[in-house]
Every structure is written in structure tokens, then in C-alpha cells.
Chains A and B, each alone.
Chain A
Amino acid sequence: GQQLNQSPQSMFIQEGEDVSMNCTSSSIFNTWLWYKQDPGEGPVLLIALYKAGELTSNGRLTAQFGITRKDSFLNISASIPSDVGIYFCAGPAGNTGKLIFGQGTTLQVKP
């Protein structure tokens, strides 16, 4: 079935550094979503991408929908301690809106 692979699995960076993480798939997706999950909470939508090649920003976050429709990346600029959490990429499986998630990238930020 469809799978999403995220890398890196975890990152430990200094406050103020930029961060890049990506997500790849063996099959095509028509939508890419990036979520962040804090401990004890559900995932929160950060950015939604709907078109191949699309580059979208949300504050310090920038995400791109790969031109092949099989990958996406998320960049965080000038990281701050509250960026700590687990970042998931997700894409719809079929046309029902149900999502397939990657295994997540855990981000830790050292003040």
C-alpha cells in the first residue's frame, strides 16, 4: 500500500538555526499536508499543499509540493524553543479524506 517516509527521524538543533525535513512516497499524492504534534495533543495542521510545484509559507514555515508529486519538504527558519515537537507529513488515501501519515520527524531545539 501507500507509504510515506520521513527524514530525518530526529533532529537536535540550536535555537536560531534553520531546519529542513522531507517526506517521500513511492506513489503519487494530489495533496500534501504537514502537521505538528505536541506531547499529549493531537496533530495540528501547519500547511496544506494542493498543486505540484506549489511553495507555501506560514510565518517561519515554508513547504513545497514536489514536482513529481512524490515528495514534499518543510523548512523552518530561525527556530525557537516552541518549535519542539513531532512533525508529520500526510496525504490522502483515495478520495475519502482519510490520511496516511509518515512516521514523523522529532525536533528538539536547544536554547
Chain B
Amino acid sequence: GAGVSQTPSNKVTEKGKYVELRCDPISGHTALYWYRQSLGQGPEFLIYFQGTGAADDSGLPNDRFFAVRPEGSVSTLKIQRTERGDSAVYLCASSLDRGPSTFGSGTRLTVV
């Protein structure tokens, strides 16, 4: 597609539930990144994919967070047993190799 597409744009879930956030990167972009942005802060890195493999997952806060990119294109960020502190905007970005990233509009996750 023309840009990075993220769905849903908003997600409200109850504490303890499981959620999946989807990212559709720019066609042909091999690198894909997930970031989390809390209110009043800059985005913070979560995980980086080069192709299908997670090349760097050092930013994932704990084992409740997991991401996949099975065919090297669309990626899904999965959060288990959500907590109120997981509420944030989750941003996806993609790039050609390691060039400047293009960001999607994000998914605003609210855990109630």
C-alpha cells in the first residue's frame, strides 16, 4: 500500500484480556518496527523484524508481549493478560533495509 496501515485505530479492552494489533507495512519494505508511545513521551522501541525473523526484541517489556511476521509482510503484536499500564499508542513503522522509517497512525489501546 501507499503507507503503513494499522488496525484497529482504537481498541478498548478489559484488564486480563488478550489483544492483537495488526500492521500492514509499505509494500517491499523488509524492515518493520513496533514502538509504544505513552502520553507526553516519544515513541519507545519494542521489536524489529528483518523479513520474517525478529532481529531485535530487546524493547519488549515482558513475556506478555509477543509479535510475529510470518510471511515477511504483515505483522501482529500480541499482548496477553493486558494490564492498565499497557494503555498507550502502539506505532508500527517500516523501512527499506535500515533507512528512515515511515510510521503508521498507530493503535490507541485502552485497558479498563
Asked if B106 is at the interface (CB within 8 A of a chain A CB), the reply is yes
Report yes or no: A45 in contact with B100, Cβ–Cβ below 8 A: yes
Asked if A78 is at the interface (CB within 8 A of a chain B CB), the reply is no
Asked if B105 is at the interface (CB within 8 A of a chain A CB), the reply is yes
0/1 interface trace, chain B 21-51, chain A, CB 8 Å (1 if under): 0000000000101010000111111001010
Quote the shortest CB–CB distance from B54 to chain A (angstroms).
11
Question: In the complex, what distance in Å separates the CA atom of A21 from the CA atom of B65?
Answer: 35
Chain A residue with Cβ nearest B93: A42
Question: In the complex, what distance in Å separates the CA atom of A48 from the CA atom of B4?
Answer: 19
11 contacts between A and B (CB under 8 A): A41-B105, A42-B91, A42-B93, A45-B101, A93-B45, A96-B48, A97-B33, A97-B95, A97-B101, A98-B33, A99-B45
Q: Which 3 A-B pairs have the closest CB atoms?
A: A101-B42, A42-B103, A97-B98
Chain B residues with a Cβ under 8 A of chain A: 4, 31, 33, 35, 40-45, 48, 50, 55-56, 59, 91, 93, 95, 97-106
17 new A-B contacts at CB < 8 Å, known A40-B106, A42-B4: A35-B103, A42-B103, A42-B106, A43-B91, A44-B103, A48-B100, A93-B45, A96-B56, A97-B95, A97-B98, A97-B99, A97-B101, A98-B56, A99-B35, A100-B45, A101-B43, A103-B42
